[in-house]
Structure 1
Amino acid sequence: MTVNAETTMLITGAASGLGWALAQAAFQRGHRLILVDRDAAALADKSAQLAAVDPRRVTHYALDLTDGPGRDRLIEQVAARGRLDVLINNAGITHRSLAARTELKVLRQVMAVDWEAPVALTLGCLPLLRDSGGCVINIGSMAGWMPVLGRAGYCSAKAALAQFFEVLRGEVADQGIGVLMVYPSFLATPIESNALGFDGKPAAHARSSVGRVRSAEWMAGRVLDAFERGDKRLFPDRFTLMASLLWRLAPDLYHRLMRRRFAVELNS
């Protein structure tokens, strides 16, 4: 799509972390924003901060995106307001727990938030994106490309997200709808501090990580730059790209390195 000032962007998970960083960066670049988050108080506060600068360019809807009827109402309200140029599926959750110990309700919750909700929201918004020649931006993860100990549900959801949207990309290409898949590694955002444990309660142990932990602001700038270039996929740093290649070219070596680096997960 052609990127113009005041492109209308809908950002999910917009009240904190990467979603809020994306909202600030997009606002600074002159875009109109529709902010969505389940935390009504935080969302109202963040929206008010931007509206104090220009109230015409910000609106917000408090919503748990796993609520199907609520999601449908959101789509109706967005359609009633006019055009939608960009949908950024950013909202997500994760867990830190061994696959064999994790209760199915946790795996279902991760899949509902990280796969089902963005898929359903995108399908509902396709007519609007078709009219505008718009773009869907999905915040995936390197965990969707390669296994990470203690994240079986999260890896599964992000892999499913990537596969669904790669298929959708081919199916809507002739309709003028773009798809940008973003594959960050480790970011300093609340998604990890709010990670679920094996039973759905907060995870009891600190996360393991590899590579440099980047800021949400760093990531947001790269996402918007990739969108403006018309990129189809974004591996934001060399580490992420090299790790994905290692998994494909030398999977046994990757597993040995991962077990060493994420040993705390095996003992949790």
Structure 2
Amino acid sequence: MMNTPVALITGAANGLGWALSQQFWQVGYSLCLVDLDQQGLEARKASLLEMGSNTQKIELCTVNLLESGAIECIKDTLSRRFTSLDVLVNNAGITHRSLARETSIDVIEKVMDLDFLVPVKLTQQLFEQLANSGTRKKPATIINIGSMAGWMPVMARSGYCAAKSAQHQYFETLRAETTHLPVNILMVYPSFLATDIEKNALAGNGQKATHARSTIGNIQSAEWMAKQIIQACHSGKSRLFPSKAILLASLFYRWFPALYTRMMRRKFKSELSVQLEVQELANH
């Protein structure tokens, strides 16, 4: 049983995390599934076991990744239940929909902590185990779910853009420093997906955002994204840009930033109007 490769996935109970859990299970991985939702994790485990397997194993780790001790709990679960770690998927995340100057520092800190610092902490704690599991022919893999928001500004997502930018820079630097080790880093830059991250987006005051989001390009399913990530992982890719239109938009921003900003304001006009209306009501 312990000869099967092992993947650890954060935010595994829903959305892209759940889609990735299914994909890794179907190609023969044992899983360590991490999420805050215990009932959700248990339901997902039952669904996977119904698919059948005589060699794979599933361990659940119910933790709030923002609380102290969460990373140690995950590490302890791995060391007790598995002898290797072949894939680490830093998927758990949160976003907000609020104007930069109307977003409380508590919201900014929460987004930065979960989207940037948690992946860094988890990677630092588990890197040695990953390096020991990997080989030159088959390196272990760290998969980070980034965003094109880390490459270009997106209105009403200032904290999210900052967190994903920081994630990009940290892991690209880590890649440069560890090319001699059997660990590959796959940076994934999706655009807009039909997942719970937007359903659970925060407003500037920390409550759940109630207004509709604006989007750029097509909204793809979590299943579609997960399949591309699995393929990129197995082929040893370093970066995955699943939406060519969004990739071109990021390059357009670098070449023509003023024009990009005008076009973005036009695209996000309806959301900006809602934000300004909320701001005016609060001021009165």
Structure 1 runs not aligned, ≥5 long = none
Matched residue pairs, number? 264
Q: 1:208 aligns with which of 205, 214, 224?
A: 214
Residue in structure 2 matched with residue 29 of structure 1 by the alignment:
27
Residue in structure 1 matched with residue 249 of structure 2 by the alignment:
243
Please say if residues 61 and 77 of structure 2, whose CA atoms lie closer than 8 Å, have aligned partners that are also in contact.
no
Offset of 1:188 from its aligned partner? 0.3
Q: C-alpha offsets along residues 86-131 of structure 1, whole Å, 9 cap, x if unaligned? A: 1000000000000000110000000111011111001000110110
Offset of 1:75 from its aligned partner? 0.7
Q: SS state of the match for residue 226, structure 2?
A: helix
Residue in structure 2 matched with residue 160 of structure 1 by the alignment:
166
Kindly indicate whether residue 12 of structure 2 is the aligned counterpart of residue 11 of structure 1: no
Q: 1:138 aligns with which of 117, 132, 144?
A: 144
Please say if residues 130 and 176 of structure 1, whose CA atoms lie closer than 8 Å, have aligned partners that are also in contact.
yes
Query: Sequence identity, in percent?
Result: 47
CA RMSD of aligned residues (A): 1.2
Residue in structure 2 matched with residue 127 of structure 1 by the alignment:
128
> Equivalents in 2 of 1:171, 1:98: separation in Å?
36
> Equivalents in 2 of 1:67, 1:124: separation in Å?
16
Please say if residues 9 and 84 of structure 1, whose CA atoms lie closer than 8 Å, have aligned partners that are also in contact.
yes
> Equivalents in 1 of 2:176, 2:204: separation in Å?
37
- Over alpha carbons, which structure has the higher Rg? 2
> Equivalents in 2 of 1:175, 1:79: separation in Å?
21
Residue in structure 2 matched with residue 108 of structure 1 by the alignment:
109
- How do 1:168-187 residues align onto structure 2 when only pairs under 5 Å count? 168-187=174-193
> Equivalents in 1 of 2:248, 2:115: separation in Å?
24
> Equivalents in 2 of 1:113, 1:144: separation in Å?
15
> Equivalents in 2 of 1:44, 1:160: separation in Å?
33
> Equivalents in 2 of 1:31, 1:245: separation in Å?
36
> Equivalents in 1 of 2:39, 2:219: separation in Å?
28
Normalized against structure 2, the TM-score is what? 0.90
Q: C-alpha offsets along residues 4-33 of structure 1, whole Å, 9 cap, x if unaligned? A: x93211000000000000011111111111
Q: SS state of the match for residue 138, structure 1?
A: strand
> Equivalents in 1 of 2:47, 2:106: separation in Å?
36
